[in-house]
Chains A and B, each alone.
Chain A
Amino acid sequence: MEKIDPKVVGTRVRIARLLQGQTQADLAKQLQVTPAFVCQVEAGTKQPSPDTLASIAEVLRVEPGFFLRAIPDEFRDEECFFRKRKTTPLYVRSRALAHGTFLTELISFLEEHVDFPADDVPNYPEGSKSIDEIADDCRRAWCLGLDTPIVNMTRVLENAGIVVADFGSDRKVDAFSRAGARRVVVRNTETQSRSRLRFDLAHECGHLVMHVGLDASSLELEPAADAFAAAFLLPRRAFAAEFPRSASPSWESLRALKRRWGVSLSAIVRRARDLRLIDALFYQRAYKQMSARGWNTKEPDEQFIAEEDPELIATALRILDESGELAPAELARRLGWAPTLFTDVTGVPCAELPNDIIPIDRARRSRWFM
Chain B
Amino acid sequence: MNVMPWDIHPALAPERLAFVARLMRAVRAEAVDGHEAEKGDTAWGLGCRAHERTLFAITNAASGIASDWLSVIEPGLHFVFGIGTVPVRFYRGEAESPPTRSLKRNYPEIAAQRQMAFTLPGFAAPTRAEDDKEYVWRIAIETDVDGCVSRIVLVEVADDLSTRTIYEIPETSIGYVASTEPQRREGKTLPPPRVSLKSAKTTKKTKKVGDNGED
A-to-B contact residues, CB < 8 Å? 112-117, 143-145, 147-152, 155-156, 158-159, 236-237, 239-243, 245-247, 260, 275-279, 311-312, 315-316, 319-320, 323, 325
Q: Which of B82, B114, B123, B187 contacts A148 (CB 8 A)?
A: B187
A113 to B187, CA, bound (A): 34
A14 to B110, CA, bound (A): 59
Other than the given A115-B201, A275-B114, A279-B111, 18 more pairs (CB < 8 A) read A112-B198, A113-B199, A115-B195, A115-B196, A117-B193, A145-B185, A151-B188, A152-B189, A237-B118, A245-B82, A247-B111, A276-B114, A277-B114, A278-B111, A312-B193, A315-B192, A315-B193, A325-B199
A149 to B187, CA, bound (A): 5
B-to-A contact residues, CB < 8 Å? 71-74, 82, 85, 87, 106-108, 111-112, 114-115, 118-119, 123, 182, 184-201
Q: List 22 A-B contacts (CB under 8 A).
A: A113-B199, A143-B188, A145-B187, A147-B182, A147-B185, A149-B186, A155-B190, A156-B190, A158-B192, A239-B118, A241-B85, A245-B82, A245-B85, A245-B112, A245-B115, A246-B72, A260-B184, A275-B115, A312-B193, A315-B192, A319-B196, A323-B200
The DSSP consensus for interface residues of chain B is: mixed
Q: Which residue on A lies nearest to B192, using beta carbons?
A: A311
Expressed in whole angstroms, the minimum distance between the Cβ of B140 and any Cβ of chain A is: 23
Chain B residues, Cβ within 8 Å of A320: 197
B111 touches A277 (CB 8 A): yes
A114 touches B198 (CB 8 A): yes
User: How many pairs of A and B residues are in contact by the CB < 8 Å rule?
Assistant: 113
Chain B residues, Cβ within 8 Å of A278: 111
Expressed in whole angstroms, the minimum distance between the Cβ of B21 and any Cβ of chain A is: 21
Q: Which residue on A lies nearest to B121, using beta carbons?
A: A237
| Best-buried of A114, A143, A247, A279 by chain B (most CB within 10 Å) | A247
B197 touches A114 (CB 8 A): yes
Expressed in whole angstroms, the minimum distance between the Cβ of A119 and any Cβ of chain B is: 12
A241 to B123, CA, bound (A): 12
B187 touches A150 (CB 8 A): yes
The DSSP consensus for interface residues of chain A is: loop
Chain B residues, Cβ within 8 Å of A237: 118-119, 123
A113 touches B190 (CB 8 A): no
A243 to B87, CA, bound (A): 14
Q: Which residue on A lies nearest to B200, using beta carbons?
A: A323
Expressed in whole angstroms, the minimum distance between the Cβ of A206 and any Cβ of chain B is: 19
Chain A residues, Cβ within 8 Å of B189: 151-152
Chain B residues, Cβ within 8 Å of A245: 71, 73, 82, 85, 87, 112, 115
Q: Which of A115, A144, A243 contacts B115 (CB 8 A)?
A: A243
Chain B residues, Cβ within 8 Å of A155: 190-193
Q: Which of B108, B187, B194, B198 contacts A247 (CB 8 A)?
A: B108
A159 touches B191 (CB 8 A): yes
A154 to B72, CA, bound (A): 39
Expressed in whole angstroms, the minimum distance between the Cβ of A241 and any Cβ of chain B is: 5
Chain A residues, Cβ within 8 Å of B85: 241, 245
B195 touches A315 (CB 8 A): yes
Expressed in whole angstroms, the minimum distance between the Cβ of A171 and any Cβ of chain B is: 28
| Best-buried of B185, B187, B191 by chain A (most CB within 10 Å) | B187
Q: Which of A149, A236, A312 contacts B118 (CB 8 A)?
A: A236
| Best-buried of B114, B185, B195 by chain A (most CB within 10 Å) | B195
A276 to B108, CA, bound (A): 10
A319 to B197, CA, bound (A): 7
| Best-buried of B74, B87, B115, B199 by chain A (most CB within 10 Å) | B115
A240 touches B73 (CB 8 A): no
List the 10 closest A-B pairs by CB distance, nearest first. A240-B118, A247-B108, A158-B193, A151-B187, A149-B187, A148-B187, A155-B190, A315-B195, A241-B119, A279-B107
